Structure 1
């Protein structure tokens, strides 16, 4: 007896990929938990996580924000200061170590020695979210005061969310040699001064990513046992690599590590954790590269629309667009205006000008 004979169509390339229009390929999980309209859905991670949060809000879901803009602040200023960009103002969390340490900082288990960076203009920024205040802070004390309020909102977020969408972005990063504090950017890019005696470049391997994410999930479930987590890998390539190799090769390595780690984590059998293939939908050759803009890095609106159609079909089937043929026409209007995604990593290039 052929063991493949009775497998479902989605497990065959010819039936599920080659025999389906590119915009209709849907590799999303079908046995995952469901998201209700009343569920508090939070997002955290790399730049692509912002596209997910924008689409969720537009789709009528309850996008959970615990650190909103102060009353009376205009929309433009709130956006510039990253209120609502993520569920709290933690900025981009590119690697798993940042997730673990954010939790530990929020709950008082880790207090990094590094407190503030000074910029060239004399203003100060928070080293762990250096772009959230475009005008910076007047002094280091102001940075610390703002951080304490922020971390209180992070605690509230972790304790109150129902669903957390985590987007893993990078394996490359920088850490303080003194205590291992993980940074989203190297000093000297958006503040501070680069000193190789104070910071070390790190490229996390699969085992480390798994250990860090396991640690984060255990911490999250210790304060919120019912929290459900959707784990994704960002399809946005590295903007630069510090490794001595071509950025294309470094990017392939980084994404492969994250994808392998995410797969192992989600095969553990915990029904509260599921992998969603936004990375595969965007990067698949079946779409002929149409889901990237001309810079081959930014995600096109059609790609975001495809991801969110599959997302809805997996986690909220009643909300999924049908028939599929209508999705292409709807995507341009539905996802228009999602410019303004904040990607701290892009500061690397801007700092070189």
Structure 2
């Protein structure tokens, strides 16, 4: 199902980012002995669960989930071109969070100034991670996002869900098209290659259906739209750019030949068998060893404290399900 055009081996430095499903990819490659970059490690004495609750050990930098190509491109512009997002700090009760990664400090920080200091350090470590990577792995997760109307700033989560407050006159809902998704990812590639000319890209689409939609459509209709757009965008990127491979995570899980057996009884969460099958295929394609220790039973639905899939020690950190709070309230 997959013939890579470039190698990934023990000496390959890999950076990971994207939706929740990308967390599986990082674990699988790390278990196979690949050097997966971690530019913002948690202190060694911190438990894995606490570290993950605070955005550590999920990706190659502590940016949390990046669901859309637009958010990824914006982050690159901030890191390398000095872009300043609107509303960089949101209030969370009497505390403060980074609007571009509100979930990494669940209790917030003491001041807006402290958030700004953390942000500056994060961007420096992000530049280090992406600048050192031989391969950048990105999992496309969503086409839906919330933005700041005047500036176009994209947020990873709607204001008011994890900090901030939603104002329909200031904030808006956007549902990206194929062309917009392709343009955003290619813009990211251009910035990344300007800083790291040797970088190659492994892209994939999360197979997990949407948990909620703010589009006004039924969530199953919105899911087909979103995944179709993301898959088509990946195909256009693959055809237009050198040094890009597409790995069929989405196809392995959703193909009729799988008979639906890779979905849990709720027909949304990918089972451990499904995750293990995808990651075993990935490792075999590159001639890598390792066991399927990365598997867990959840994807975008798994949110700390939100219920749903079993809370295993290796669960994922995802907040996409919280968008359900805004279904029917946000306007385009």
TM-score (norm 2): 0.89
The residue number in structure 2 matching 1:342 is 317
Deviates more, 1:289-298 or 1:64-73: 64-73
The residue number in structure 2 matching 1:102 is 75
The residue number in structure 2 matching 1:230 is 202
Find 2:88's aligned residue among 106, 115, 119. 115
Could you tell me whether the CA contact under 8 Å between 1:42 and 1:161 is conserved in 2?
yes
How much has 1:248 moved relative to structure 2?
0.2
User: What secondary structure sits across from 1:242 in the alignment?
Assistant: coil
**1:68 equivalent in alignment to 2:41:** yes
**1:169 equivalent in alignment to 2:144:** no
Q: Which has the larger radius of gyration?
A: 1
**1:48 equivalent in alignment to 2:21:** yes
Could you tell me whether the CA contact under 8 Å between 1:54 and 1:338 is conserved in 2?
no
Number of aligned residue pairs: give it. 312
User: What secondary structure sits across from 1:157 in the alignment?
Assistant: helix
The residue number in structure 2 matching 1:87 is 60
Deviates more, 1:66-75 or 1:110-119: 66-75
Could you tell me whether the CA contact under 8 Å between 1:43 and 1:87 is conserved in 2?
yes
Deviates more, 1:126-135 or 1:339-348: 339-348
Could you tell me whether the CA contact under 8 Å between 2:294 and 2:314 is conserved in 1?
no
For residues 201 and 308 of structure 1, the distance between their equivalents in structure 2, rounded to whole angstroms, comes to 34
Could you tell me whether the CA contact under 8 Å between 2:214 and 2:323 is conserved in 1?
no
How much has 1:116 moved relative to structure 2?
1.0
**1:208 equivalent in alignment to 2:183:** no
The correspondence of residues 112-191 of structure 1 with structure 2, limited to 5 A, is: 112-119=85-92, 121-191=93-163
TM-score (norm 1): 0.84
Give the aligned CA root-mean-square deviation in angstroms.
2.0
How much has 1:149 moved relative to structure 2?
0.7
Once the two structures are superposed, residues 77-106 of structure 1 have per-residue CA deviations (whole angstroms, 9 ceiling, x without a partner) of: 322212111110111111111111111111
Find 1:239's aligned residue among 199, 205, 211. 211
From the superposition, tell whether residues 351 and 57 of structure 1 become closer, same or farther in structure 2 (CA, over 3 Å).
farther
The residue number in structure 1 matching 2:303 is none
Could you tell me whether the CA contact under 8 Å between 1:190 and 1:351 is conserved in 2?
no
Runs of 5+ in structure 2 lacking a partner? 297-311, 328-332
Find 2:51's aligned residue among 54, 78, 87. 78
